[in-house]
Structure 1
């Protein structure tokens, strides 16, 4: 089955769809020594060579993989950083013919579950709001609580051109103005959890992601360590976004 070339190259780990489309528009992408246009369709088996920015690649495939990573506070979700800060890619295993793609992001101050895959379409679907993939966090917050404020979080607020709300809010422990909650939501807007609490005047002291869709952060997985997802779970992850493994 043929697919658009920007989708194929993204799936193979050569960059995001937007990045690939930009390179195609600039005329620096060649497949089998022929310059391509946006929307050109190919079958994977018919691609023998790829050239991007005058760099040649022999087409080979890594198996589709998913990693669970326990991100610490202080790492950023980019490949390179101008300030030379540690990135989440530093401790990952090497791939031969593709590259790791983050499934969503966690900000500098947030720790916990971060997923990686080398299959671009899977990453794209897991992040897309249409697939309603749940994210769950443990959050320690400080401030003055009231029923009115909790009702606002349940009802939702307007963020980034759409309504944001928690799917669930569960009190766990703490007293007075310092409490732990479990919260979940279906979107992945930038710093969405922190912004929701900030809207009602509550400060987030600590934020830990413990679940992304069917994947739960293992209690035995130490900070800065990664774990390869097993065959049965990776099949389940693919099915959750209507993909075959």
Structure 2
């Protein structure tokens, strides 16, 4: 049965559908030895020879779902032209080819999902699921209530406002304040840019929650495999959401307290 090439590449665990489309447009995909650059192109994996960068595209032998506590100083890509470390360097024992679901910036820490299940990754990143992602943000100086209100209501990025966010002060420091910011969009560098839009300079940024998933017990650089039930639960409507009206004490306990400033690991952002 013929399927779109980007779907076949994604199902093989090579890249997400979006990344697969970029591979096709860049001329990196061949079918029966011929370069294919049309996004609508199809092939039948049972009869056609499909390759990316000369490597055969084969169905993944098993689906893996990985939760990684990403340290700062790692690229959320499979390779880096500048030779910087990438997140898969932290998974030497994982023999299957896996790739990140979405991205965290080089200097951003925290919860990152990786998989070789292209359909799962594609569904997670689709806007209709509105999965909450919570970040702890240390900002330089003091935060004013007016800035928190602006972040809650949405700020203009690229000519359109962000969706309303859940924002609260979680640590009132002498020199730096900590905020919890929860969003369900996935725009490029969104939390950093939201803070910049209200004149807040980010010193440290860490994702602490993705839907109902947290990093309990995982130190920076450590990972664990998700169960099939955990992976599927993220795709259940409403399963990845938490009420904005939850008591502060419960939310703090569930999300975990922000790391102490004296316990920072890895490189710190200079933005």
TM-score (norm 2): 0.74
Counterpart selection for 2:189 from 188, 191, 209: 191
For residues 70-102 of structure 1, give each alpha carbon's deviation from its aligned partner in whole angstroms, at most 9, with x where no partner exists: 111111112222332211110223334xx2121
In 1, the alpha carbon distance for the partners of 2:231 and 2:30 equals: 32
Counterpart selection for 2:155 from 141, 154, 157: 157
Is the contact made by 1:74 and 1:86 (CA closer than 8 Å) also made in structure 2? yes
Counterpart selection for 2:232 from 230, 235, 244: 235
In 2, the alpha carbon distance for the partners of 1:55 and 1:228 equals: 30
User: In structure 2, do the counterparts of structure 1 residues 142 and 166 end up closer, same or farther at CA, with 3 Å as the change threshold?
Assistant: farther
The structural deviation recorded for 1:2 is 6.0
Query: After alignment, is 225-234 or 12-21 more displaced?
Result: 12-21
**Unaligned residue ranges in structure 2 (runs of 5+):** 239-271
User: In structure 2, do the counterparts of structure 1 residues 27 and 103 end up closer, same or farther at CA, with 3 Å as the change threshold?
Assistant: closer
- Per the alignment, residue 252 of structure 2 pairs with none
1:89 aligns with 2:60: no
In 2, the alpha carbon distance for the partners of 1:224 and 1:201 equals: 31
SS at match of 1:90: helix
- Per the alignment, residue 21 of structure 1 pairs with 24
- Per the alignment, residue 224 of structure 1 pairs with 221
In 2, the alpha carbon distance for the partners of 1:66 and 1:30 equals: 29
Within-5 A mapping of 1:78-117: 78-92=77-91, 93-96=93-96, 99-117=97-115
1:119 aligns with 2:117: yes
The structural deviation recorded for 1:42 is 5.8
The structural deviation recorded for 1:164 is 1.6
Q: Which has the higher strand share?
A: 1
In 2, the alpha carbon distance for the partners of 1:2 and 1:228 equals: 32
Is the contact made by 1:77 and 1:88 (CA closer than 8 Å) also made in structure 2? yes
**Unaligned residue ranges in structure 1 (runs of 5+):** none
The structural deviation recorded for 1:3 is 3.7
Is the contact made by 2:154 and 2:165 (CA closer than 8 Å) also made in structure 1? no
- Per the alignment, residue 168 of structure 2 pairs with 170
The structural deviation recorded for 1:35 is 8.2
SS at match of 1:67: strand
For residues 124-179 of structure 1, give each alpha carbon's deviation from its aligned partner in whole angstroms, at most 9, with x where no partner exists: 22122232111101111223433322222122111124312552012212246522
The structural deviation recorded for 1:58 is 7.0
Is the contact made by 1:138 and 1:209 (CA closer than 8 Å) also made in structure 2? yes
TM-score (norm 1): 0.81
In 2, the alpha carbon distance for the partners of 1:29 and 1:201 equals: 48
Is the contact made by 1:73 and 1:109 (CA closer than 8 Å) also made in structure 2? yes
Is the contact made by 2:28 and 2:53 (CA closer than 8 Å) also made in structure 1? no
- Per the alignment, residue 12 of structure 1 pairs with 12
